[in-house]
């Protein structure tokens, strides 16, 4: 045999990693107990569950099965620890976190081996990807602990957080949850997934080693139905952070609705992997391997839908099959193995079921000629062609090593196909034409977009999705806000009180004066407004009944009914249209049609907001009187509200072209562009108080960021909003950007919250309404921002405007752009 022949036939030999260090660590500890208050505590149930090695199907260890009594104990420990930890200076927290990062590195090989044993993923991945990213996450967030005081000055920790993680990246998901929570001064009760608890338990040992104060991190193993649900419902938990399936995420949204718990959800995906015909196909093939065969495809952001430009599809599929023939499957501890074991028999069955379904649906299935190991839970890499976009395998997350491919002709078709799922987690784009790639990236509905790369992660760059992929980000500065709240916010329970502001001091410009012909009190104004000329006292006022404002036009309410508007004395001062479901639907449609608003320039949006301020200021007195009439507040006070409103419009005109993204420098050659993007169509339910300022305080940030909106004004005092129709019409605002529907605020909000084409919902009102909105939002998993009945001082610039509003009006998309050829 000559060298050439050897080269041709060369196979990898086995390169096994020793399991012994992992196995003996397990033996020393099993059965594992619960980690509460830095101590190992026996579960009250006395029960233990098996943790298996999916590569063999054999039992690895026994871990405690916590029940609700254990959850109570852990939450109590976390609550007690929060008293101190929440006030511990950032520098001290940073020291602890730095120690955690160091210890993770010191134990990195053991952690990598344990993870592979317990989860079945190849050691190559745990050693080179999972564990280094875990350490990086703690280092990065140690930095944010250090900087919290100076970089997030207006914020405080949320309190006790419950964190629930899946089995696919057990220690990495733990790090993504624990690191930002600790950095921001929260205390934690974390539940690992049923099948993969071991690295979390090793992490608990690290917590002990570094001497983190007791109760700051508590870890409870066990069943979802016992631990997970008890955490979600626990009254003394201030936030739930969850990663897992969309179904469970939806049930958590419903279970926490109205409780005032903060919530972040990282859910499923069906991410597109888009290949244009000028892409480097050899790179593409390796990209596909990383996209769908990394971690056996059990990756929420797996590139599971291959979208190929038609003219290269056959060539790419052929190359792919060739590559699949050479993938190596087997013992996860073998360093020359590409694909390890599926985490559990249940997951294996589910993959098989969906693959069968694909075949039944008429797609063409292809698998390599080699066979999988028969011991343990293995599934071969699988490729479907001839897939039609509406079929199950093209829509449903398989969470296994199964790729479905489809073709497109034009970039526009690619974008349409890519966005044709209810998810919005990630996407990757392959083209040698950077102009094309950067044009396509913003059009993709995804939280992460990888250009000529895939499945890259870094602590500096936020990760998370939208729509049915959930909401919130992990990593980056944006991820920190999931674990803080404004300092002025109280811890109080959701409130059913109705807050109608009385008088407030002006903080905007000079103190307004009452016009000469008025006394300063609201009582002095009649319900028919009069001017100084001699005639109007003799003539009845011309009736003005505002209609709805939809698509830039004033339209009659569908119901044909009007509702009376009263002053505080109960006198009728006007009518507004009685909006219904149909009006809301029309408004949502108009808002969608106006999506070009987001694509326009920020400069243009700023100009229009300034113009609105200008047009409002021309009618300052009229608006002030209308506020007096509706609220009975003094003229001086009402005029202060109008001035504050003008100032607020200026603020968002200013922000429109200044709330920008960031360029991250993760440890790779390249950059990540973090771009805040409009969410889409937002439904707004305005506060009852401050009829004008409350309305503009929501409208202005939403449209400044490029959203189009459907607004339900104050129900008690809607006339200030309807008086704005003319301001909007004369300010060059394109039709459909702002749509206003008057009527029963809660009824209309319900329709908006239920609506599948509304992407986010803000609701400022009483606790019950907030709960209904959060419950309904679970339908399409829209983002919500509600006040839980807590008052907000709209006249105060800290509470009434600023970055909190802009953050709620945007979502960050991270676009990864590597350098080099």
Residue 83 burial by Cβ neighbours in a 10 Å radius (0-12, 13-18, 19+): exposed
Closer residue to ligand NAD in complex, CB, 244/713: 244
Task: Tell me which residue of 714, 686, 744 sits closest to 563, measured CA to CA.
Answer: 744
Span from 227-235, 313-321, 691-699, 704-712 in contact with ligand NAD (CB under 6 A): 227-235
Q: Which of residues 233-292 bind ligand NAD (CB under 6 A)?
A: 243-245, 248, 251-252, 266-268
User: Residue 229 touches which of Mn ion, ligand NAD, none (CB < 5 to 8 A by kind)?
Assistant: ligand NAD
**Residue 768: active-site member:** no
Site for Mn ion in 76-135 (CB under 5 A): 118
List the beta bridge partners of residue 555: 548
Is 195 a binding residue for Mn ion by CB under 5 A? The answer is yes
Q: Out of 136, 141, 177, 194, point to the residue binding ligand NAD (CB under 6 A).
A: 194
CA separation for the pair 347, 548 (Å, rounded) = 52
Hunting for tokens 């649900």 — which residue is that? Answer: 229
Q: Which of 217, 232, 393, 418 binds ligand NAD (CB under 6 A)?
A: 232
For 545, phi then psi, to 5°, come to -110, 110
The one of ligand NAD, Mn ion, none whose footprint includes residue 245, by CB under 5 to 8 A per kind, is ligand NAD
Alpha helices by DSSP H, listed for 326-475, are 345-360, 392-395, 411-418, 434-440
Residue of 133, 703, 152 whose CA lies nearest to 456: 133
Q: Least distance in Å: CB of 304 to ligand NAD?
A: 10
How many residues touch Mn ion under the rule CB under 5 A: the total is 3
State the binding string over 135-164 for ligand NAD (x if CB under 6 A, else -): -----------------------------x
Choose from Mn ion, ligand NAD, none: what does 644 bind? Cβ within 5-8 Å by kind: none
Cα–Cα distance measured from residue 549 to residue 417, given in angstroms and rounded to the nearest whole number: 34
Residue 70 sits in the site that holds ligand NAD (CB under 6 A)? no
List the single partner that 754 binds among ligand NAD, Mn ion, none, CB under 5 to 8 Å by kind.
none
Instruction: Supply 743's token pair.
Output: 């009527």
Residue nearest to ligand NAD (CB): 228
Element containing residue 430 per DSSP (H, E): strand 426-430
Is 51 one of the binding residues for Mn ion (CB under 5 A)? yes
Q: How far is the CB of 222 from ligand NAD (least distance, A)?
A: 8
- Select from ligand NAD, Mn ion, none the partner in contact with residue 244, using the beta carbon and a kind-dependent cut-off of 5 to 8 Å: ligand NAD
Ranges within 452-471 binding ligand NAD (CB under 6 A): 469
* Site size for ligand NAD (CB under 6 A): 26
Q: Which of 300, 372, 686, 770 is catalytic?
A: 300
Instruction: Quote the least distance from Cβ 202 to ligand NAD, whole Å.
Output: 17
Nearer to ligand NAD, 224 or 436 (CB): 224
Alpha-carbon distance 807 to 486, whole Å?
13
For residues 98, 666, 204, 56, the Cα torsion angle rounded to the nearest 10 degrees is -150
Binding flag, residue 475, ligand NAD (CB under 6 A): no
d(CA 485, CA 498): 23
Which of 228, 368, 376, 400: binder of ligand NAD (CB under 6 A)? 228
| Nearest approach, Cβ of residue 196 and Mn ion (Å) | 5
Position among 101, 193, 770, 773 found at the interface with ligand NAD (CB under 6 A):
193
Residue of 117, 115, 118, 95 whose CA lies nearest to 107: 115
8 Å CB contact between 576 and 743: yes
Q: Residue holding tokens 């001290």?
A: 92
Q: Is 300 a catalytic residue?
A: yes
Cis peptide before 31 (omega within 30 of 0): yes
- In the complex with ligand NAD, the residue whose CB is nearer, 233 or 323, is 233
x-marked contacts with ligand NAD along 382-421 as a string, rule CB under 6 A = ---------------x-x----------------------
Contacts of 485 (CB under 8 A, 6+ apart): 155, 156, 158, 262
Torsion angle, CA of 421/763/177/491, rounded to 10 degrees?
A: -170
Query: Which C-beta is closer to Mn ion: that of 332 or that of 368?
Result: 332
Residue 518, token pair as written in the block: 């008025």
In angstroms, give the least distance from the CB of 267 to ligand NAD: 5
Q: Which residues contact 259 (CB under 8 A, 6 or more apart)?
A: 235, 494
Pair 657, 602: CB distance under 8 Å: yes
> Whose CB is nearest to Mn ion?
118
Residue 228: contacted member of Mn ion, ligand NAD, none (CB under 5 to 8 Å, by partner type): ligand NAD
Residue 248: contacted member of ligand NAD, Mn ion, none (CB under 5 to 8 Å, by partner type): ligand NAD
Give whichever of 197 and 630 is closer to ligand NAD, judged by the CB atom: 197
CB of 265 closer than 8 Å to CB of 471: yes
Q: Work out whether 694 is an interface residue with ligand NAD (CB under 6 A).
A: no
Nearest alpha-carbon partner for 668 in 492, 472, 484, 461:
461
CA distance 633 to 622: 15
Pick 252 or 817: Cβ nearer ligand NAD? 252
- The answer to whether 672 touches 815, Cβ cutoff 8 Å, is yes
Could you count the other beta carbons within 10 Å of the beta carbon of residue 27?
Answer: 10
Q: Which residues bind ligand NAD (CB under 6 A)?
A: 164-168, 191, 193-194, 224, 228-229, 232, 243-245, 248, 251-252, 266-268, 300, 397, 399, 425, 469
* Residues belonging to the active site: 266, 300
Q: Which residues bind Mn ion (CB under 5 A)?
A: 51, 118, 195
């Amino acid at each position: 045999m000559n060298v050439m022949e050897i080269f041709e036939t060369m196979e990898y030999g086995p390169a096994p990693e020793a399991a012994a260090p992992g196995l003996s660590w397990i033996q020393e500890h099993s059965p594992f107990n619960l980690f509460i208050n830095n101590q190992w505590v026996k579960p009250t149930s006395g029960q233990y569950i098996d943790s298996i090695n999916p590569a063999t199907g054999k039992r690895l260890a026994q871990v405690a099965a916590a029940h609700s009594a254990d959850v109570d104990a852990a939450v109590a420990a976390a609550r007690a620890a929060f008293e101190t930890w929440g006030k511990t200076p950032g520098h001290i927290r940073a020291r602890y976190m730095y120690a955690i990062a160091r210890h993770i590195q010191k134990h990195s090989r053991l952690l990598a081996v344990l993870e592979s044993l317990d989860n079945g993923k190849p050691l190559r991945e745990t050693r080179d990807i999972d564990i280094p990213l875990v350490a990086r996450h703690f280092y990065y967030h140690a930095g944010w602990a250090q900087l919290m005081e100076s970089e997030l000055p207006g914020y405080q920790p949320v309190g006790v957080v419950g964190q629930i993680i899946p089995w696919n990246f057990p220690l990495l998901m733990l790090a993504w949850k624990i690191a930002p929570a600790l950095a921001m001064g929260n205390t934690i009760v974390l539940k690992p997934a049923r099948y993969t608890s071991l690295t979390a338990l090793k992490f608990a040992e690290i917590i002990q080693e570094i001497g983190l104060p007791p109760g700051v991190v508590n870890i409870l193993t066990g069943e979802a139905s016992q631990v997970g649900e008890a955490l979600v419902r626990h009254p003394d938990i201030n936030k739930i952070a969850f990663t897992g399936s969309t179904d469970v995420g939806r049930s958590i949204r419903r279970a926490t609705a109205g409780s005032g718990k903060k919530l972040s959800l990282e859910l499923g995906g069906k991410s597109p992997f888009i290949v244009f015909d000028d892409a480097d196909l050899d790179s593409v093939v390796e990209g596909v391997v990383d996209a769908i065969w990394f971690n056996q495809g059990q990756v929420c952001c797996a590139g599971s839908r291959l979208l190929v430009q038609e003219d290269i599809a056959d060539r790419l599929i052929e190359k792919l099959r060739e590559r699949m023939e050479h993938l190596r499957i087997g013992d996860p501890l073998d360093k020359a193995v590409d694909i390890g074991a599926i985490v559990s028999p249940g997951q294996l069955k589910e993959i098989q079921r969906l693959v069968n379904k694909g075949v039944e649906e008429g797609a063409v299935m292809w698998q390599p000629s080699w066979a999988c190991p028969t011991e343990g839970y293995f599934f071969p890499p699988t490729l479907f062609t001839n897939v039609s976009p509406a079929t199950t395998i093209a829509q449903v997350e398989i969470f296994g090593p199964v790729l479905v491919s489809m073709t497109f002709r034009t970039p526009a078709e690619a974008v349409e196909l890519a966005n044709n799922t209810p998810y919005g987690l990630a996407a990757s784009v392959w083209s040698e034409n950077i102009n094309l790639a950067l044009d396509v990236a913003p059009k993709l509905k995804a939280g992460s977009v990888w250009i000529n790369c895939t499945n890259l992660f870094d602590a500096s760059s936020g990760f998370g999705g939208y729509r049915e992929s959930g909401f919130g980000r992990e990593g980056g500065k944006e991820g920190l806000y999931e674990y803080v709240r404004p300092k002025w916010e109280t811890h109080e329970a959701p409130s059913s009180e109705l807050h109608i502001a009385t008088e407030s001091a002006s903080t905007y410009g000079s103190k307004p004066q009452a016009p000469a012909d008025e006394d300063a009190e609201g009582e002095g104004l009649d319900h028919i407004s009069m001017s100084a000329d001699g005639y109007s006292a003799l003539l009845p006022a011309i009736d003005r009944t505002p209609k709805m404002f939809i698509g830039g036009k004033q339209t009659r309410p569908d119901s044909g009914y009007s509702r009376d508007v009263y002053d505080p004395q109960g006198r009728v001062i006007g009518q507004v249209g009685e909006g219904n479901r149909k009006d809301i639907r029309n408004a949502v449609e108009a808002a969608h049609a106006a999506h070009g608003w987001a694509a326009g320039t920020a400069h243009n949006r700023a100009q229009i907001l300034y113009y609105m301020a200008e047009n409002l200021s021309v009618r300052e007195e009229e608006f002030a009187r209308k506020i007096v009439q509706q609220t009975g507040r003094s003229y001086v006070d009402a005029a202060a509200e109008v001035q504050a409103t003008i100032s607020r419009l200026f603020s968002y005109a200013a922000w429109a072209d200044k709330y920008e993204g960031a360029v991250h420098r993760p440890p790779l050659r390249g950059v990540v562009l973090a771009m805040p993007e409009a969410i889409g169509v937002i439904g707004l339910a305005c506060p009852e108080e401050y009829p004008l300022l409350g309305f503009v305080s929501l409208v202005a940030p939403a449209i400044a960021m490029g959203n189009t909106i459907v607004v339900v004004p104050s129900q008690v005092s809607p006339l200030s909003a309807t008086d704005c129709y003319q301001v909007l019409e004369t300010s060059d605002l394109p039709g459909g950007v702002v749509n206003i529907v008057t009527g029963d605020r809660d009824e209309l909000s319900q329709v908006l919250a239920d609506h599948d084409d509304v992407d986010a919902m803000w609701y400022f009102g009483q606790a019950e309404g907030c709960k209904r909105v959060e419950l309904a939002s679970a339908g399409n998993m829209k983002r919500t921002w509600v006040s839980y009945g807590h008052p907000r001082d709209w006249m105060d610039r800290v509470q009434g405007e600023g970055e909190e509003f802009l953050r709620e009006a945007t979502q960050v998309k991270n676009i990864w752009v590597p350098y080099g050829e």
